Amino acid sequence: MAKGRVSIVVERCKACGFCVEFCPSHVLALSSTFNSKGYHPPHAVHPEKCSGCDLCGMYCPDFAICATKTDAPKKADPAKEGDK
Amino acid sequence: MTDCLNTDLLDDPLGDDRLNTDLLDNSISVENPVERFLRSDRMPHIWCPGCGIGTTVNSFARALIESKIDLGSLALVSGIGCTGRVAGYVKLDSFHTTHGRAIPFATGLKLANPKLNVVVYSGDGDLSAIGGNHLIHAARRNIDLKVICVNNLIYAMTGGQTAPTTPDHSTTSTNPYGVFEPSFNLPHLVEAAGAVYVARWTTFHVRQLARSISEAFKKKGFSFIEVISPCPTLYQRRNKMGDALDAMKFYKEKSKIRHGAPTSEVGMTMTGEIIVGKFVDRERPDYQTMMKAQYTESLGERFVEPTEMVCS
């Protein structure tokens, strides 16, 4: 289960490759398709590895990518226990 | 959200499966945390692919989130040049001023409304060449400004001319046979002139840069943060240094964090080590404190503090 999720705004990407290079868990790769400006945006080749650290989002010079932590189901468990 | 991932664009027009669209299933749009600091209608910005200015703006926005600063009390002033365009892309009270005069305009803002947090966001050419005199005098007077200097080592917007920060032996459009002038060591310059906070990072050090900017917000006085940034189009290409990603790898390899390093030793060379870190963090009374002390001493009761300016 992935801890995080990458979200990409394809049209803003200029394919600098910073996110691909600096992703600590190697989630991303540049895709072979083009956006309307003719750049190859990245896509998540290993989405299950994403930790949601958002380092890709910090490096992106075009504000085109961000990663968020997915709410783990663990969070819901203590609440349920509390109810009991 | 209109500009979230448009899956139609990812459908391959040629019909072959060069791209696995399942892997691109990002249909749940997630708002980028920095989005609220940007004028989204002006995106994509004009900066070249791989230009580091966007990364510095990203770190700046994250520093604003981290320091929980009141955006109503923040003003961003920038000059002319690639970095000067920052004022047009941030959704803050911003001011795009004349060439080299970002610091004078910012000084005026600060004097008129001392409660403002004034950030000067400009490039090396704007701040240290045409605006060099303003830089050293603002540091000397210790005016409470946060200066973020994005140093791409060249005059990028005008076609890659030699700037005061261009390192020795690099090739530029005005020095096709190599630069022979010694370059400015900006941290040393502003420390000597009297800045209270001096740091240098590269665009590789995004988290450290964000932390440094938040620290500068807590300081009272002239804070100067230099950010070494790649210029793939003019500096790297002409010097056969590869693209922006190569520059980032170069920063990763060659930069060395040395907090408190003597600024006289942090000068940059074209291929040598880049010393980064927080060099200076000291206390000195700022301009307005000194002004108040002086007037109180010489005028006594006759000195009346200026009341808060109200814009109508």
Q: Please give the domain boundaries of chain A with CATH numbers for all domains.
A: 4-83 (3.30.70.3270)
Q: What is the mean pLDDT of chain B?
A: 87
**What pLDDT score does B30 carry?**
67
CATH number of B101's domain: 3.40.50.970
- Tell me the chain A residues in contact with residue B24 when contact means C-beta distances shorter than 8 Å: 8, 31, 43-44
Q: Is the distance from CB of B186 to CB of B128 less than 8 angstroms?
A: yes
Is ipTM over 0.90?
no
- Is there a contact between B30 and A66 if contact means CB atoms under 8 Å apart? yes
Is the pLDDT assigned to residue B26 strictly greater than 80? Answer: no
- Tell me the chain B residues in contact with residue A14 when contact means C-beta distances shorter than 8 Å: 44, 48-50
Q: Is the distance from CB of B118 to CB of B87 less than 8 angstroms?
A: no
Range with lowest mean pLDDT among A45-54, B18-27, B83-92: B18-27
Q: Is the distance from CB of B279 to CB of B187 less than 8 angstroms?
A: yes
Angle, in degrees to the nearest 10, between helices B132-141 and B102-112: 30
Q: What is the per-residue pLDDT across B159-172, written as a single tens digit (0 to 9) for each?
A: 999 999 999 999 99
**What pLDDT score does B21 carry?**
45
- B3 found inside a domain: no
- B223 found inside a domain: yes
Specify the pairing of strand B74-78 against strand A42-44: unpaired
Nearest CA in chain A to B10: A33
- B9 found inside a domain: no
**What pLDDT score does A82 carry?**
43
Is the pLDDT assigned to residue B145 strictly greater than 80? Answer: yes
**What pLDDT score does B301 carry?**
84
In the predicted model, what is the mean pLDDT of residues B239-265? 91
Nearest CA in chain B to A36: B9
Is the pLDDT assigned to residue B303 strictly greater than 90? Answer: no
The percent of chain A in helix, strand and coil, each rounded to the nearest 5, is 30, 20, 50
Distance, in Å, from the CA atom of A47 to the CA atom of A82, rounded to the nearest integer, reads 33
Question: 3-class DSSP state for residue B172?
Answer: coil
- Is there a contact between A10 and B5 if contact means CB atoms under 8 Å apart? yes
Is the pLDDT assigned to residue A31 strictly greater than 80? Answer: yes
Q: Which of B46, B134, B53, B52 is nearest to B97 (CA)?
A: B134
- Tell me the chain A residues in contact with residue B54 when contact means C-beta distances shorter than 8 Å: 60-63
**What pLDDT score does A2 carry?**
76
- B7 found inside a domain: no
Q: Is the distance from CB of A27 to CB of A6 less than 8 angstroms?
A: yes
Which residue range forms the structural domain that includes residue B102? 30-302
- B307 found inside a domain: no
Residue to mutate among A58, A60, A66, A70, with most B CBs inside 10 A, is: A58
In the predicted model, what is the mean pLDDT of residues B269-278? 91
- B11 found inside a domain: no
Q: Is the distance from CB of B87 to CB of B95 less than 8 angstroms?
A: yes
Position B309 confidence tier, pLDDT thresholds 50, 70, 90: low
Is the pLDDT assigned to residue B279 strictly greater than 90? Answer: yes
Is the pLDDT assigned to residue B2 strictly greater than 60? Answer: no
**Number of structural domains chain B divides into:** 1
